[in-house]
């Protein structure tokens, strides 16, 4: 009889005060965050999308359907800026993360002067893009910049260039700057990941007479892979939005060779002789979709198929 259900249906008892949902508190806690999110994120995104279907002038707003999107599809400068941004966003993360891994391994192996190198390699990321841009404009100066001065001292005068003045090498020159700037940050994150590796796995490999190369390739890299992938994605997103450095150094020139989507959007919004916010909003909307799609693709590609166990 003990397991037998009672024939009398359970009566719905009123909830005790402690069991009721504390709606007042929930609303009080959520409201500030919700308000800020709505005002500063959701509304601007919605407004940008709205603007992209309109001509938005100070005293006039006119629905124009897909006209801005059609114009954008035929805008050569936009596609040039897309190409530049993609090159930057693909090349830079690979360079930054691979160099950072080597530096982190050097520090992990406790090279002499490691404290100094850790600070020196990390320092660039503490500076703003504005300061970095100004410094590198000096370094890249044709006549007296450090880059050409070093080449001249080494007897490589013919290699001296107007590094950010020549359309053929301006973009690689800027990519070099972001690599210099962000490698230290990636290095510190990777160093933390290396220090958190399980020592027994590495010690077991050493007992098996595993060499440095094999240990790196078969043990260390697989173990820090999630960190590597996160750094790649973060760097990719950062470069897809790059603006400050370009604005300080080249303003997108020469001949659009360093034009990025962000600089072009700014130019269309504030520098072209028009007040229309519709077209720049279209660029922003399209680029938002590009970045989102790229990040989702990367996340899908890099998803961890086999969970590591140790």
Applying CB under 8 A, the residues found at the interface with another protein are: 57-60, 77, 137, 140-143, 162, 164-168, 253-256, 267, 269-275
Q: Where are the alpha helices (DSSP H) in 154-207?
A: 170-195, 199-207
Q: Write down the least CB distance from residue 49 to another protein, Å.
A: 19
Tell me whether residue 183 or residue 258 sits nearer to another protein (CB atom). 258
Question: Of all residues in the chain, what percent are helix, strand and coil, respectively (each to 5)?
Answer: 70, 5, 30
Residue 62: its H or E element: strand 60-63
Please name the residues in contact with 308: beta carbons below 8 A apart, sequence gap of 6 or more.
222, 223
How would DSSP label each residue in 91-138? HHHHHHHHHHHHHHHHHHTT-TTHHHHHHHHHGGGGS-HHHHHHHHHH
Q: Write down the least CB distance from residue 73 to another protein, Å.
A: 15
Strand partners, 60: 57
Tell me whether residue 134 or residue 229 sits nearer to another protein (CB atom). 134
Q: How far apart are CA 257 and CA 73, in angstroms?
A: 19
Q: Write down the least CB distance from residue 142 to another protein, Å.
A: 5
Q: Give which of 246, 240, 235 is closest to 136, Cα–Cα.
A: 246
Tell me whether residue 133 or residue 184 sits nearer to another protein (CB atom). 133
Residue 61: its H or E element: strand 60-63
Q: Write down the least CB distance from residue 47 to another protein, Å.
A: 13
Q: Write down the least CB distance from residue 66 to another protein, Å.
A: 20
Q: Write down the least CB distance from residue 279 to another protein, Å.
A: 11
Supply φ then ψ for residue 303, to 5 degrees: -65, 145
Q: How far apart are CA 193 and CA 221, in angstroms?
A: 10
Structural contact between residues 239 and 178, judged by C-beta atoms closer than 8 angstroms = yes
How many CB atoms are located within 10 Å of the residue 171 CB? 21
């Amino acid at each position: 009889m003990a397991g037998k259900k009672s024939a009398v249906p359970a009566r719905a008892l009123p909830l005790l005060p402690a069991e009721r949902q504390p709606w007042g508190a929930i609303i009080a806690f959520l409201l500030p965050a919700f308000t800020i999110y709505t005002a500063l994120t959701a509304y601007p995104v919605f407004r940008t999308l709205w603007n992209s279907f309109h001509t938005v002038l100070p005293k006039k707003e006119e629905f124009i359907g897909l006209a801005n999107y059609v114009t954008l599809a035929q805008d050569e400068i936009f596609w040039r800026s897309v190409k530049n941004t993609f090159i930057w966003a693909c090349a830079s993360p690979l360079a930054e993360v691979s160099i950072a891994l080597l530096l982190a391994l050097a520090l992990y192996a406790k090279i002499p002067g490691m404290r100094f190198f850790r600070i020196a390699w990390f320092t660039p990321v503490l500076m703003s893009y504005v300061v970095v841009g100004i410094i590198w404009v000096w370094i890249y100066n044709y006549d007296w910049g450090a880059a050409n001065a070093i080449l001249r001292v080494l007897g490589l005068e013919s290699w001296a260039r107007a590094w950010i003045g020549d359309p053929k090498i301006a973009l690689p020159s800027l990519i070099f700057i972001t690599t210099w700037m962000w490698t230290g940050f990636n290095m510190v994150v990777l160093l933390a990941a290396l220090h958190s590796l399980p020592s027994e796995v590495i010690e077991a490999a050493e007992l098996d007479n595993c060499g440095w190369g094999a240990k790196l390739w078969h043990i260390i890299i697989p173990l820090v892979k999630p960190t590597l992938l996160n750094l790649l994605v973060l760097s990719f997103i950062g470069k897809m939005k790059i603006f400050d450095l370009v604005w300080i150094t080249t303003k997108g020139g020469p001949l659009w060779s360093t034009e990025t989507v962000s600089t072009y959007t700014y130019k269309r919004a504030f520098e072209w002789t028009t007040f229309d916010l519709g077209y720049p909003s279209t660029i922003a909307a399209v680029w938002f979709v590009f970045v989102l799609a790229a990040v989702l693709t990367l996340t899908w590609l890099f998803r961890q198929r086999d969970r590591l166990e140790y």
